[in-house]
Amino acid sequence: MVQGVGFRPFVYRIAKSFDIRGWVLNSSGGAVIEAEGGEAAVEQFLRTLAGELPPLARIDEIEVTNLSPSYERDFVIRESTIRAGRFALVPPDVATCTDCLREITTVDDRRYGYPFTNCTNCGPRYTIIGDVPYDRSRTTMEPFRMCSRCQAEYEDPTNRRFHAEANACPQCGPSLALVSAEQLASGSLPRFEAAQGSHAILARVQNLLRDGEIVAIKGLGGFHLACDAANDTAVGLLRERKRRSGKAFAIMARNLATAERLCEISETDRSLLAAASRPVVLMRRRGTGLPGGISANLAPGTAMLGVMLPYTPLHHLLFEGSPGFDVLVMTSGNVSEEPIVSVNEEAGPRLRSLADHFLFHNRDIQTRVDDSVVQAFEGRQYPLRRSRGFAPEPIDLEMPLREILACGGELKNTLCLTKDRYAILSQHIGDLENLETMEFFRETLGHLQRFFRVSPVAAAHDLHPNYLSTRFALEESGLKTIGIQHHHAHIASCMADNGLRGRVIGVALDGTGYGLDGRIWGGEFLTCSFGGFERRGHLRYVPLAGGDSAIRQPWRSALAYLRAAFGPRATSLALPMFEEIPAHRIAVVETMLSRNVQTIETSSCGRLFDAVASILGLRHETTYEGQAAIELEMAAAQETGHYPFAFTGLDPFEIDMRPAIVAIVEDFQAQIPVGAISSRFHRTMSRVVVDACMRIRQSDDLNRVCLSGGTFQNLRLLGQSAEGLRQRGFEVFTHHRVPPNDGGLSLGQALIANEILLQ
């Protein structure tokens, strides 16, 4: 990672310090240096080159070749070159550094209040780059000609803006425009005033937010929808307009002290919040209520808050000198299920019904990128969405790879390209359920192929025939196609995340994955390597009525499990669902299940969590994926004990959860608190994981366990499972670079496809 991170100025300075002559340049293959000097000086130069890098630089490999002296007289930075077929690592976007932050908040600095301040240590990268090598002419900064003072900084090797390609100031750089939704509706276009007017525009935006208005703010990788997080009316209106009745909003806190006032923050949380990637960090809120005067409508049904700190100068300036608010809602600027809006001309038509005002800027976004989301687990990062600040930084797999396109799944889609020793995972694309998101998929693929000079020889895809990603591979890619089983890909992604080779025990727990038998899998215990897998066990199948309707209506899963456990008397049980769901709807699904009409069998762990949530009266219908399971996790108390379950069959074994369902119903009817029942259920599922792995170890002599799949976003389940496995001598591997959910699926697909191509 040596382009756009101050690497050439670094090389220049150390060359000068050791009296080295020669040159350095960026190429589409990385950086090339010719260093000429005394033997000891050259050796010291090489040691310093590898050991004292700029903060954002990364070196994976240095090739050294001895040349005859050319008797250069000085050391210079040469113009970039393009080398056919070679690629450099494109850096992700980086949060504002302390030096730039000091400048924009210092009254007598020439960049005071300027929202596009950056240097070689921070600012936009991936979102503005059109091609490599990374030069200003290949970025969306190309239209902005540097003034004499910025040009002098750019050409000064001692300045931290030496060859900072996005360098700008109020005299020569991008500027802002504030327009109301009514003005856009009447055909008015944003008028970008001189950048010196940024102070006044941002002061007006602060006043609008303070008055309860919703403002669409163009940022680094797209638009955010912002409002005052303490204003119940504004938050409720945004929720109504965005058709997002239950899912939590991400919030931006003024600073770390504000975040600590809101949430219980560990040292790991603190480091994640302050990292250069500036992700949204999920943390438990303080106390039982919502602290600090923020709206109760921010995160209904969960004790977790998703918090991020400002990561652009514009964000910092929104909080600067504004006592009216310390926390802003900053949610993706899109209509529900569509990609984030990134183009000025699209913002009005697509967001006019959501926002009252629009804050535009005139620096184009080359590649749209949504915010990343992480949690802390066992002292390190546990990603849930890998996007801004991380993508497209490749994952070094330290093994040669064929050039492959992996198309991912349907939900939380990412795509993956491989080249040389790298897996290049895209930013979060979203759920491939509409044409707009599919176009975003194609757009992202084009960018990454161009940046990394990838010409895939094969396209890997999920086995589900109706996924748009599968159809793209089969119908549009024009490549040799390789179908990959969903849960095999989950475990392969965890293996790649941890640098594993050989065979492992894989525990893949999620909601939906197309199985080899045509049924829906989701509670899977595998033995696998990149080259193949065997299904050693799974949760016992239950029939679900109505297919996707069962995902949105957990009571359908509950009815299926109750019928499996209690037979025909299931509907006579005294449970909330039979009082709260209309009898005629219950009767229709009961008929479908009894006659096996429009049902599909599933071993899904996600549907089991849904079922228990509905049985306990927590959630019968959902408005977003995983809502019932989240509320079940949030309800859990600190309770010991677990429920019974049974193993049946041999190869693969089945895990029968009917005894647990019976015991849960008995506890509920005995008025055992829901928190205690939820806790016991979570302990039961972790016991299932441990006991199943012990069975596989006994038969297969394997001791390494990979835990993957969307259900392991539940940290209570993940932590108890990992602890139980370690107590019994297993090596346990979890995710830390890619998500356990379907956002990591494409990485696993790519590794499996690579192995198949090598066979």
Dump pLDDT digits (tens) for 257-299. Answer: 999 999 999 999 999 999 999 999 999 998 655 556 788 889 9
Ramachandran area for residue 10 (φ above 0: left; ψ -120 to 50: alpha; else beta): alpha
Residue 162 has pLDDT above 70, yes or no: yes
Residue 256 has pLDDT above 90, yes or no: yes
What confidence score (pLDDT) does residue 284 get? 94
| Helical (H) or strand (E) element with 51 | helix 39-51
Q: Can you read off the two tokens belonging to residue 705?
A: 């366990």
**pLDDT tens-place string over residues 132-148:** 878 899 999 999 999 99
Q: Can you read off the two tokens belonging to residue 565?
A: 């456990």
Going by their DSSP bridges, the two strands 416-425 and 404-406 should be labelled as antiparallel
CB 745: neighbour CB atoms within 10 A?
A: 38
What confidence score (pLDDT) does residue 539 get? 98
Whether 491 and 508 have beta carbons less than 8 Å apart is answered as: yes
Name the residue type at position 182: E
Residue 632 has pLDDT above 60, yes or no: yes
Confidence of residue 413 (pLDDT cuts 50, 70, 90): very high
How far is 134 from 166, CA to CA, in rounded Å?
10
Confidence of residue 759 (pLDDT cuts 50, 70, 90): confident
Ramachandran area for residue 464 (φ above 0: left; ψ -120 to 50: alpha; else beta): beta
**pLDDT tens-place string over residues 324-352:** 789 999 999 998 778 999 999 999 999 99
Helix (H, G, I), strand (E, B) or coil at 136: helix
What confidence score (pLDDT) does residue 27 get? 74
Across residues 368-378, what is the average pLDDT? Answer: 97
Residue 583 buriedness (CB in 10 A; 0-12 / 13-18 / 19+): exposed
What confidence score (pLDDT) does residue 318 get? 96
- The rounded mean pLDDT for the chain is 93
What confidence score (pLDDT) does residue 101 get? 97
How far is 379 from 470, CA to CA, in rounded Å?
37
What confidence score (pLDDT) does residue 253 get? 96
Of the given ranges (47-56, 127-136, 722-731), which has the lowest mean pLDDT? 47-56
What confidence score (pLDDT) does residue 83 get? 63
More confident site: 163 or 181: 181
Helices in 252-303 by DSSP H: which ranges? 256-262, 267-274
Helix (H, G, I), strand (E, B) or coil at 370: coil
Taking Cα atoms as reference points, which of 55, 48, 197, 171 lies closest to residue 113?
197
Whether 392 and 454 have beta carbons less than 8 Å apart is answered as: no
What confidence score (pLDDT) does residue 408 get? 98
Of the given ranges (241-255, 403-417, 502-516, 601-615), which has the lowest mean pLDDT? 241-255
More confident site: 162 or 620: 620
Residue 192 Cα to chain centre, angstroms: 33
Residue 710 has pLDDT above 90, yes or no: yes
Helix (H, G, I), strand (E, B) or coil at 543: strand
How far is 490 from 495, CA to CA, in rounded Å?
9
How far is 530 from 718, CA to CA, in rounded Å?
23
What confidence score (pLDDT) does residue 84 get? 58
493 Cβ contact list (under 8 Å, min separation 6): 708, 735, 738, 744, 745, 747, 748, 751
How far is 154 from 172, CA to CA, in rounded Å?
13
Q: Can you read off the two tokens belonging to residue 622?
A: 């959902």
DSSP 263: B
| Helical (H) or strand (E) element with 216 | strand 215-218
**Range list of β-strands (E), 638-696:** 646-648, 653-656
SS (H, E, C) 684-697: HHHHHHHHHHHHHH
How far is 242 from 330, CA to CA, in rounded Å?
13
Residue 231 has pLDDT above 60, yes or no: yes
Helices in 198-301 by DSSP H: which ranges? 198-210, 232-241, 256-262, 267-274
% of the chain beyond a pLDDT of 70: 97
**pLDDT tens-place string over residues 47-89:** 888 888 877 778 878 889 999 888 888 998 887 776 655 666 7
Residue 525 has pLDDT above 80, yes or no: yes
Whether 144 and 171 have beta carbons less than 8 Å apart is answered as: no
Residue 409 has pLDDT above 80, yes or no: yes
Whether 555 and 581 have beta carbons less than 8 Å apart is answered as: yes
Going from the C-alpha of 13 to that of each of 6, 377, 413, 577, 629, the distances in angstroms are 11, 40, 43, 70, 55
